[in-house]
């Protein structure tokens, strides 16, 4: 490792560095222009603005407002304009293209089929069109010189009662691009054990799943997700810090649950900007990711909702780099953590690590070394 591994990284090199994304919502990542065009096509006339810049600003202001109602309203619009086969296919295609253009080489993108049925599509049709869109997007990205592989996670809403049915669909489609299952939605009052039947089914089917836990709600939710439901990964898991005591002298003590999460290498899908928006973290500078990375937890960096947070993988990496002084060596560590934690087969994960991630970081590190030597950083 040379100086370039730890030096501040210019944004263009963060974009160029290969990145891996495990937690991204399809309905949270639409292009503002697409929202406007789809609204016109599908005669959805509820949008707060039809100017793309103004609409983008509206989305991020609503998401940063601290009001849950306004935050949820943002999804009412993105879900409202994606009720047709063509709309779903388009947003999936653009999602793959946007991620690839941002240097993401592997992504798992999730969506809830049950939210897209208001114009008569069935859940199977929703899934098929999203998969088609991702296939097209991957093809277009490859043609543009940015290869990306996208795996799909099917989400069930934790406030509803369809989780078993969605879990069965995730198994039915697992050889066609669906790689796992997730539950999302209001955490307080809706513990993961309400959906035990779905998780037990998935385990019997040797299938993978993650659970949104430890975002709005604390340790009991994380504990249930792991010890009752058997989650492979935790969506956010930020509140695991509540089980870690840092003394004024700097010594750190882990409680039993935090120890278990670290010892078992349970991946934490952290989404810094989103965590600040929802109040799960106070600020990027005070985000628990700094402590958890230092303690060697299996931490990954994610976007959650790119439209609402006005973010991208490169932007999240860049924010962390500014807050914690992370260089390319840290970004590679987060990226390899994420790739190790992906739901595709082990040999395929390894091949992305060895053939794309490591050579990609070696290349950008070299480029940064040259810039440092020339004094052009
Ligand atoms: Zn999420």
User: Tens of pLDDT along 138-186?
Assistant: 999 999 999 999 999 999 998 888 999 999 999 999 999 999 999 998 7
Same domain, 36 and 23: no
Same domain, 116 and 256: yes
> What SS3 class is residue 139?
helix
pLDDT at 79: 97
Among 13, 45, 77, the domain-final residue is 77
Ligand 1: distance of its center to the CA of 78 in Å? 15
Ligand 1: distance of its center to the CA of 6 in Å? 30
DSSP letter for each residue of 258-319: HHHHHHTT--EEE-HHHHHHTTSSS-STT-THHHHHHTT--EEE--B-HHHHT--HHHHHHH
Give the pLDDT band (50/70/90) at residue 58.
very high
Residue 371 has pLDDT above 90, yes or no: yes
Residue 288 belongs to some domain of the structure: yes
Ligand 1: distance of its center to the CA of 1 in Å? 34
Residue among 228, 209, 107 nearest 167 (CA)? 209
CATH number of residue 229's parent domain: 3.20.20.140
Ligand 1: distance of its center to the CA of 166 in Å? 17
pLDDT digit string, tens, across residues 25-47: 999 999 999 999 999 999 999 99
How far is 2 from 213, CA to CA, in rounded Å? 38
Same domain, 89 and 45: no
Neighbours of 3 (CB within 10 A): 12
Query: Where in 129-232 does DSSP place strands (E)?
Result: 149-157, 178-184, 209-213
Give the pLDDT band (50/70/90) at residue 73.
confident
Ligand 1: distance of its center to the CA of 377 in Å? 35
Ligand 1: distance of its center to the CA of 365 in Å? 31
pLDDT at 84: 97
Ligand 1: distance of its center to the CA of 248 in Å? 33
* pTM of structure: 0.96
Spatial neighbors of 298 by CB under 8 A, at least 6 apart, are 262, 265, 266, 267, 268, 337, 340, 341
Q: Which domain holds residue 330?
A: 3-31+78-372
Same domain, 55 and 126: no
Same domain, 127 and 168: yes
pLDDT digit string, tens, across residues 186-211: 777 888 889 999 999 999 999 999 99
Looking at the DSSP assignment, which residues form a beta bridge with residue 109? 24, 152
Same domain, 155 and 48: no
pLDDT at 17: 98
Question: How many domains does one find in the chain?
Answer: 2
Residue 255 has pLDDT above 60, yes or no: yes
Give the pLDDT band (50/70/90) at residue 218.
confident
Residue 377 belongs to some domain of the structure: no
How far is 344 from 179, CA to CA, in rounded Å? 6
Give the pLDDT band (50/70/90) at residue 1.
low
Same domain, 59 and 205: no
Residue 213 belongs to some domain of the structure: yes
Q: Is the dihedral of CA 240, 65, 97, 325 positive or negative?
A: negative
Same domain, 320 and 218: yes
pLDDT at 279: 84
Spatial neighbors of 235 by CB under 8 A, at least 6 apart, are 23, 182, 184, 210, 211, 212, 213, 215, 269
Report residue 221 as tokens.
Answer: 């939710």
Ligand 1: distance of its center to the CA of 23 in Å? 6
Residue among 115, 39, 127 nearest 85 (CA)? 127
pLDDT at 294: 96
Report residue 275 as tokens.
Answer: 């965590």
Residue that is written with structure tokens 């999460």 in the block: 261
Residues designated as active site:
215
Same domain, 51 and 22: no
Ligand 1: distance of its center to the CA of 273 in Å? 12
Residue 9 belongs to some domain of the structure: yes
Same domain, 134 and 184: yes
Residue 90 belongs to some domain of the structure: yes
Same domain, 9 and 120: yes
Ligand 1: distance of its center to the CA of 167 in Å? 18
- Mean pLDDT confidence for 315-333: 97
Among 15, 43, 77, the domain-final residue is 77
Report residue 303 as tokens.
Answer: 């976007």
Ligand 1: distance of its center to the CA of 262 in Å? 21
Same domain, 53 and 41: yes
Give the pLDDT band (50/70/90) at residue 127.
very high
């Amino acid at each position: 490792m040379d100086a370039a591994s730890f030096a501040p990284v210019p944004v263009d090199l963060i974009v160029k560095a290969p990145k891996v994304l495990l937690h991204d919502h399809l309905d949270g990542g639409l292009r503002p222009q697409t929202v406007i065009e789809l609204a016109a096509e599908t005669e959805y006339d509820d949008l707060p603005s039809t100017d793309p810049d103004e609409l983008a600003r509206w989305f991020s202001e609503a998401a940063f407002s601290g009001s849950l109602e306004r935050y949820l309203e943002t999804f009412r619009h993105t879900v409202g304009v994606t009720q047709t086969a063509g709309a779903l296919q388009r947003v999936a295609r653009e999602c793959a293209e946007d991620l690839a253009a941002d240097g993401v080489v592997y992504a798992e993108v999730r969506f809830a089929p049950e939210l897209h049925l208001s114009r008569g599509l069935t859940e199977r049709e929703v899934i098929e069109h999203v998969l088609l869109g991702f296939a097209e997007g991957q093809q277009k990205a490859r043609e543009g010189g940015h290869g990306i592989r996208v795996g799909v996670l099917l989400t069930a809403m934790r406030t509803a009662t369809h989780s078993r049915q969605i879990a069965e669909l995730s198994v039915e489609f697992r050889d066609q691009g669906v790689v796992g299952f997730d539950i999302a939605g209001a955490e307080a009052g809706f513990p993961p054990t309400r959906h035990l039947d779905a998780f037990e089914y998935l385990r019997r089917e040797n299938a993978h799943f993650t659970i949104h836990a430890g975002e709005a709600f604390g340790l009991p939710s994380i504990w249930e997700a792991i010890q009752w439901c058997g989650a492979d990964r935790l969506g956010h898991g930020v509140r695991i810090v509540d089980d870690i005591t840092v003394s004024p002298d700097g010594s750190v003590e882990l409680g039993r649950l935090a120890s278990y999460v670290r010892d078992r290498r349970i991946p934490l899908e952290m989404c810094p900007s989103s965590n600040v928006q929802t109040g799960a973290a106070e600020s990027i500078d005070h985000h628990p990711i700094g402590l958890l990375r230092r303690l060697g937890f299996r931490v990954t960096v994610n976007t959650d909702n790119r439209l609402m947070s006005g973010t991208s993988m490169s932007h999240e990496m860049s924010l962390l780099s500014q807050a914690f002084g992370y260089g390319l060596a840290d970004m590679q560590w987060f990226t390899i953590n994420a790739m190790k934690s992906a739901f595709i087969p082990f040999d395929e994960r390894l091949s992305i690590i060895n053939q794309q991630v490591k050579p990609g970081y070696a290349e950008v590190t070299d480029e940064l070394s040259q810039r440092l030597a020339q004094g052009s950083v």
